[in-house]
Structure 1
Amino acid sequence: MTTPEPTPPGDELPDQTINRNWTELVQELRAIQVGVQVLIGFLLALPYTDRFDRLDHVEKAAYLVVLTIAVAATGAVLAPIAYHRILFRRGLRPWLVEKANRIARAGLVLAALSMCGVVFLSFDLAAGTAAGVVASLLAFFGYALLWLVVPMRARPPTGSR
């Protein structure tokens, strides 16, 4: 299911719309790229801490799942840049914008899940497994509310097309 392209502002030509959409997407990805890369750095450092050896099997498994999801998130949010480098000047900008938008959305979901996993690990270590589960569920529902529910409820202003 693809989202219909909004009416271009003013007298913008289709190529201008595609270029504007690409520019907006790249600007949006810059913020999440830094976040997931910092998260990966944090996660990669954990096994080298003294406390890591004291984790039980469930905590170590959760760590590996969260690390895997964070690596996948990083791959997804960096993929549009790789696509652009590979397809540069091949006249495939519309394809690039469509596919990059899809993979960026997947990257956002993976980033949210990895952050929920980090919340679980942090609360689990600080306050116990039950606190970890509750905190990660609250984080999950917070992301769902802010990243899905709020934008899905947006309505165009009265009098607009």
Structure 2
Amino acid sequence: MNSSTPNGHARHVSKEPDRRETELERSDRNWIDLLQELRVLQAGTQILTAFLLAIAFQPRFTDLDEFQRTLYLALVSVSILTTIASLLPVSLHRLLFRRRLKTSTVSIGDAMVRAVILGVSLATIGTAMLIFDFVVSRSAGIIAAAVLAVVLVVFGLILPLMVRRGTSSDESN
């Protein structure tokens, strides 16, 4: 449903009873939501990256076999790229600031945050695999990675999709 504001701009009225906002107001709110998500993601990503970087300086690092070293380097790469990706929405905002492109900024920022979530998920699963592989066995590492992957898919993808299925796109914005 649309109505007009006193200045003539279209006002979108969502199905939520108390939320009446223009597209620009919705974009502003969505941008703030994305920034809040990024704050959580950045902290976790930076801590995980620091942990992985510190491993190389531990005395037992030389005990890693070829598979573990390869996995470690892949994890460090994913973690560093994810940390960089978590900073990109801020750069995007700076580049598009005051250009009346808030809706585009939110859309691109959303895609970047999704990529960061994927990177954090991969780095977390891989880190668990590396630790279980090193401490217990290769089989334990594979099992740990599989269990975490299932948990992430169920609670990070399937459950939200089930909830989303019951709502319209207006309500999910």
TM-score (normalised: structure 2): 0.83
- How many Å separate the matches in 2 of 1:8 and 1:116? 39
User: Which residue of 1 is the match for residue 59 of structure 2?
Assistant: 50
**For 1:95-136, what per-residue CA distance to the aligned partner results, in whole angstroms no more than 9, with x for missing partners?**
110000011101101110100000001101110111000001
- How many Å separate the matches in 2 of 1:75 and 1:92? 23
- How many Å separate the matches in 2 of 1:145 and 1:77? 24
TM superposition outliers: structure 1 runs of 4+ over 4 Å: none
User: Which residue of 2 is the match for residue 39 of structure 1?
Assistant: 48
How many residues align? The count is: 153
SS of the residue aligned with 1:90?
coil
What residue identity is the alignment partner of 2:130?
Answer: L
What residue identity is the alignment partner of 1:57?
Answer: E
Identity of aligned residues (%): 31
Alignment match of 1:94 (pick from 100, 103, 110): 103
Larger Rg belongs to = 2
User: Unpaired segments of 5 or more residues in structure 2?
Assistant: 1-12
**For 1:22-72, what per-residue CA distance to the aligned partner results, in whole angstroms no more than 9, with x for missing partners?**
011101111011000000000111111001111111100000011111112
SS of the residue aligned with 2:100?
coil
RMSD: 1.8
TM-score (normalised: structure 1): 0.89
* Structure number with higher strand proportion: 2
Alignment match of 1:14 (pick from 18, 23, 30): 23
User: Unpaired segments of 5 or more residues in structure 1?
Assistant: 1-5
- 2:14 touches 2:20 (CA, 8 Å); kept in 1? no
